[in-house]
Structure formats: structure tokens, C-alpha cells
Structure 1
């Protein structure tokens, strides 16, 4: 069920689903598992932005990039399929305390190939789209949201950062291992549809930075190297230690969520995805409230549509980036 709230961001849905009981039950996550999670999340961020970019451009009359973005997304799905057995959704990969399985042999090398391939493709998008005079005249200055409006409407993600607010939960909440990497929060000042486009494009570049660093710094290195070190050094090897595991402890089906309540959140491709969890020492939570980023971001739409041309409605709506499965849940 959780993979399909936002079917373009299944990994984020899985992440928040395990993060909430982890925090409530004080379950620690091994460093290696945390690095694997980050790589999956950043691949999902790129896939999310690509799935936004193609249809958005098609909405404003540019059909060619629509086909380009699916070419790149297929490479991400190939990586997911190799690691999880599934492609777009229902990966079922995140677990309380870690991940379901270690990365397959050669996966990090394939990830590096993707990063080397995709970087120049973003440059190609820039040349094709960003300075296209027809595209810029179509959306520049359209659907403008001021900094104050963005904050007052509780916007998040690219919708918030495109209005000049440098707020990214990966920096603010310091979850997983994002503090280990050198990357910047993508922002713009104009607050219009074009600014939101530029923020998402820059976020894909920043995700590539994180992916490259995670692949190089992951504790134990590639799976094939880690297993070789363990065999070479024997049972007393440090590589059998906690930080080199993929899950802290396998959680039994009878795992009970402790008494208590908390709100936890992650920075998904659309913004703040959060869960309010109330446990009552049972295998099922007493309350599970989902805070979807696109549901909150969509609330400003009637305000943005006042006085605009009918033809501009699709451009403004498209710039928000909504998945109705997530909005309606």
C-alpha cells in the first residue's frame, strides 16, 4: 500500500514508513544500510523530477523532452530492479532497522555508469529547454509565489525553495547520513513556474553529487569487495561489525510499536513527506497520519489562478508537481 501513495516516489513512502517506528522504538540503523537508503532515495528524487519534467513540458507544448526523460528513467529502474526485484513501485526494499538485501555484485559500478551518463543529459536539457525563448515567454513570471506566501501556505520542496527559502529537510533534520556528503540546497528567488523548473533541474545535479559520494564512501565498499574482506580476515574481521550490516536486527512479525507518539518527516521529491505515528504497544499503530507534500502544495492553486488566462492553468498546475494518488491517499 505505502508504495502507491505517490507512485512516482515509492522509496520515499517506504522510508517514512520505517523511519517512524524506528524512532519510536529507538532502533539504530547500520551505516552501510543508511548509505544504501540514501542512494535509493536520491535515485528516486531524480526519477521523480524526470517524471515531472516530461509531462510539464508537454503541457506547455514541448513534446520532444517527454521522450528523452523516459530514456533516463529506464536506467534508474534497471538499477532498482537489480537491487530490489521491482522497477517503478512496490520495491518493498526498506526494513525497520535497515534494508532487505545488500547491493548485488557490480551494482555500484552500474550506478557510476548512470551518473556519468546522466550528468551530460542534464546539460542537454539545459541547452534544449532553459534558454528556449518560446518556453521562457510561456512560463517566466507565471504563477508567482512570494517568500511570505510560500511560508504562510506551508509549501515545501521545490515550491518553497523556488521562492527563496533555503529549507531542505536533508540539511535541517540531519536524517540518514546526508551530513557525510558535500552538496548544496537548490534555490531560486523569482517564485514563478520557471524558477520551480530551475530548482528541480539543479536538484538533479545535486543528487548526482550525493550518489557519487555515497558510492565512493559506503562502509565496506562494493558487496563483492566486502565479502572478500570477510572471507580473507575470518570471523574476527571488523567487517562483520554493526556498521557493515544491512539491517540492525530482523524484526519479527510480532514486533510491537511502543507506547508513544511522534511526527517524523523526509524530504521527498515533492517536499515534506511526514507521518504522525501513535503507538499503543501493539503490532499495528493506533494512529497513522500521512502528511503528503503535494496535498499541501496544491492548496495554493486557487490563489494562483486568480486573474490568469485559461491557457495558463495547466502550466501553473503542472509546475506544482502533484500525484493524485498521494493527494487523495
Structure 2
């Protein structure tokens, strides 16, 4: 691995190294995971990463749950952008069942996923600013994340762990208030994002703290299986939405931002630009929805789509279908499928092996935080502790997605 910059030469080496625990409950980790580092003064000599502090055995639990009861598990992977997890799982099941999703539903999903991406990047870049000593920007953009949560609340009734949507579409159509809030967000967020950028992009202190820190080459990033914004920051323009489109992303006009050096500054810049591109995508999705038949919010698959709740209370057939779907009593094919979506941190994949029973025979989550984090310890050798903290923050490791 190439030496990370800046790597400091030690002109006064100590006879004994100090062992320091960063985590598992340290504010700088932004999650429950641990790094045991050997330090010489403030310079890290070596380190070992420890994970598993909030391992909840999601994959094993999924082997004993019908499809619908797995959706709440996905909420608790990357909980900063839970709707992307929900949609990815629903699309995996739809791929297994060969369900065709109406265009209007696909565009609605795109809106929700891009809003979730913006919310996630707000957290990451806002916290990165905090870790460099700038708290104001974080407080400023967090108001917009709360507004995104209000949109989610209008769509599905939940804010953080959303359990949003259904296999085949959504549980209900977006109401007028939801569309109004989405359009309001498109008007109010650009000036906020522009002001946020002005606080950091040309800020001398921020540049000196992040530029050249933890630089990674494209070859190293690919060797470690990186994906998402941190891979694109190295100059590799790999984006699932372009390479393997889903939800009709091939119909949208947007750019894939890439960096040049793969350092902390480039990761910040890539995420910022991705928020601008997400706004473009949402605008286009709203225009496309206007051209589609109104009132369509799910595919016509009564064997897998839950009937309306008011019918369940009054209609025996609806009650039977509700019970059969929730308990997994509907016949399903024996198959092996993999589906991935562009999560906020990278490629979020679902590898499903199904034997025709009521629950998966095997389900594996490809969690980008788990893959991306493995490089942190070797990257940290030679860094100052303060630079390693910024490096960790720029990786945006979410503990729920790390451990699952």
C-alpha cells in the first residue's frame, strides 16, 4: 500500500509504544466499534479494528422470517438512509418472483431513494465538518434532514427506520401534501447546500485538515472492494445506477461525480456533488410522474401485495390473503438471485437463495460499510491520531451496516 499523506517522520522515537483504544464508545467513532492502535507520541504505528459490538444476526434471523418481516431488519442496516435498504430488499424479492413494477411506482421509488441519499450525505459531510472543528455547518444542514424526514413521515408514517413501501410498490399513494413538501424541498435546499459549500470548499483550515489526508489509489480501492462515494473519490466512475440500472435510472440525466486523489477532501466533494445530482434526479422524476396515469402505486400481484387494511377488517377474502402473505403461505419459486442498489455508502447487495419455503434458505447482505471499513487500520499507519479520526469520518462507517 502506498504511504498515506501526510505521514510524519518521527525524529524522537520512544522506547515503548503506547496502546490506545479508540472506541468502542468514543464520540469520534460515530458508532460502536473499536480500534486498538499502537502510538508513538501522536503518530499511529499500527492498529487493529474490532467489530461485532452490535451484531444482531440479521442474516440468521431472516432464515426464519417471511419476506415481509425481513423489511424491518433492513431498516437497521444503514439507518441514516433506511428507505434505500427497504427498496433494495423489495426489488430483490420482486426479481425472485418476476414481478413487473409500473413506471409510476419506479419513479416514486427513485424520489424516496434520492431523498434518503441526500439525508445520508448531510450527516456524513456535516459530521466531517464537526470533526475538523466547524459545528455551525452541521447544525445548519440538519434542519434540511429533518424536513426530509417530514416527507418520509407523510409518505409512510415513520421518520428514521421507515419500513417504507411494499413488495410490488407502496402501501399507499403519495398524497398532495407529500408532493407539495417534495417540491418545497427542491426550492429550499439548493441555497442551503450552496451556503454549506461556501463554508467548507475554499476554507483554508478545512482544506489543510483534509487535502492529502488518507489518499487512496484506484488500484488499492478496488483491491479492497470499495464502492460508492469513496471509490468514486479515487477516480473510478462506478455507480450501480449507471452500470446496472434499476427503477428506470437509465431514463434519467445525471452525472457521476469523481475525484482525483481519493483523499478526505475528495470524498467530501464527491458527496456534495452527489447531493446536487440527486436534486436533478428528483426534479426529473416528478416530471415523469406527471405523465403517468394517476393513482397507480403498486403492481397487480394480489398473491404478494397486502390488501387494503379497511378491507381486511370487513372482507373475509382480504383477511385470508393478508394472513397468507404475512405468514408466507403463498407458493414461491426455487431460485437464487442477487440484486444490488447504489446505497449512500456504496453497493448494497442482497444475495437470496430460496427453496420455495415460507422464508429464505439463505440471505446475505452485502454491506458497504463492512467492506469499506476493512482498509481503515492499514490506512492509519503513519498518520497522526487527528488525521485518522477525519479518515474514519470520511468513510462514513455506520455501525448498524458494519455489523448487521
For normalisation by structure 1, the TM-score amounts to 0.91
* Distance in 2, Cα, partners of 1:186 & 1:215: 23
* Distance in 2, Cα, partners of 1:291 & 1:199: 22
After the TM superposition, which residues 94-243 of structure 1 pair with which residues of structure 2 at under 5 Å, given as runs? Answer: 94-218=165-289, 226=294
* Distance in 2, Cα, partners of 1:86 & 1:220: 28
Q: Secondary structure at the match of 1:267?
A: strand
Contact 2:154 2:177 in 1 (8 A): no
- Between 1:17-26 and 1:278-287, the stretch displaced more is 17-26
Q: After superposition, what is the alpha-carbon deviation per residue over 1:182-225, rounded to whole angstroms, capped at 9, x for unaligned? A: 1011111111000000000000000000001101111556xxx9
Partner of 1:42: 114
Contact 2:110 2:247 in 1 (8 A): yes
Contact 2:257 2:270 in 1 (8 A): yes
Contact 2:227 2:345 in 1 (8 A): yes
Cα displacement (A) at 1:327: 0.3
1:24 aligns with 2:59: no
Q: Secondary structure at the match of 2:80?
A: coil
* Aligned with residue 134 of structure 2, among 62, 82, 88: 62
Cα displacement (A) at 1:248: 3.1
Partner of 2:375: 300
Cα displacement (A) at 1:53: 1.5
Contact 2:126 2:138 in 1 (8 A): yes
* Aligned with residue 389 of structure 2, among 314, 321, 324: 314
Partner of 1:51: 123
For these two proteins, the number of residue pairs brought into alignment is 309
* Distance in 2, Cα, partners of 1:167 & 1:201: 17
Contact 1:3 1:10 in 2 (8 A): yes
Q: Secondary structure at the match of 2:294?
A: helix
Partner of 2:340: 265
Q: Secondary structure at the match of 1:182?
A: coil
* Distance in 1, Cα, partners of 2:195 & 2:332: 48
Cα displacement (A) at 1:14: 0.6
Q: Secondary structure at the match of 2:401?
A: helix
* Distance in 2, Cα, partners of 1:246 & 1:106: 20
* Aligned with residue 248 of structure 1, among 273, 284, 300: 300
Partner of 2:86: 14
* Distance in 1, Cα, partners of 2:178 & 2:291: 14
Point out where structure 1 has 5 or more consecutive residues left out of the alignment.
228-243
Contact 1:21 1:257 in 2 (8 A): no
Q: After superposition, what is the alpha-carbon deviation per residue over 1:250-306, rounded to whole angstroms, capped at 9, x for unaligned? A: 413323442111211000110000011000011100000011011100011012101
Q: Secondary structure at the match of 1:8?
A: helix
1:285 aligns with 2:354: no
Instruction: Tell me which stretches of 4 or more aligned residues in structure 1 moved more than 3 Å.
Output: none
Please identify which structure carries the higher helix content: 1
Cα displacement (A) at 1:245: 4.2
Cα displacement (A) at 1:20: 1.4
* Distance in 2, Cα, partners of 1:66 & 1:249: 44
